[in-house]
Amino acid sequence: MAAFPFSPPVLPLAGGAPHTVCLALVGDLDYEVGDEVLHQVLHALRGGEDVRDLRLDCQGLGTVDSAGLAVLLQIHRHTSEDGTGFHLDNMGPRLERLLHITGTYEYLTAPQQAAPSAGSAGSAGSAGSAGSAGSAEGDPGTLDSGA
């Protein structure tokens, strides 16, 4: 019998740049876990000192439904309001396709640099997906974002 019937939807990633919060999104991002994911990401942002960038690694992301997309949009809105950079890394083709279908690709992947702090020149950072690009496989109506 397993200790946990599920894995946590958000995992911290080590080795990020200074002033950067790096998190991995794991499993499905849907109605069932959306509020928890939002809570965990916002908690991580508030818990860091002088956070300038948020990087969400989407490699382990499964299906994303409309509630999951809403979570990504809410996280983006919070980072925009705070002047924090927002980056979706390692997006699979299905997540990219979902963002294109919903008209949110440019909004969520456009370069959003952190506001430079006093005495800092800011960081160059990279925009959007560091993951694979290409056409989505499978049924055109499928909104499964898994790679």
pLDDT tens profile 11-45:
999 888 899 999 999 999 999 999 999 999 999 99
Beta bridge partners of 24: 11, 57
Sequence-separated (6 or more) residues with CB below 8 Å from residue 44: 10, 12, 21, 23
pTM of the model: 0.75
Q: What is the pLDDT of residues 135-147, one digit of tens each?
A: 333 334 444 545 4
Q: Which of 61, 46, 50 is nearest to 20 (CA)?
A: 50
H helices of the chain, where? 34-47, 66-82, 93-101, 105-109
pLDDT higher for 48 or 138?
48
Pick the range with the lowest mean pLDDT from 39-53, 60-74, 91-105, 124-138.
124-138
Per-residue pLDDT, 114:
63
Cα 124 to Cα 75: distance, rounded to the nearest angstrom: 21
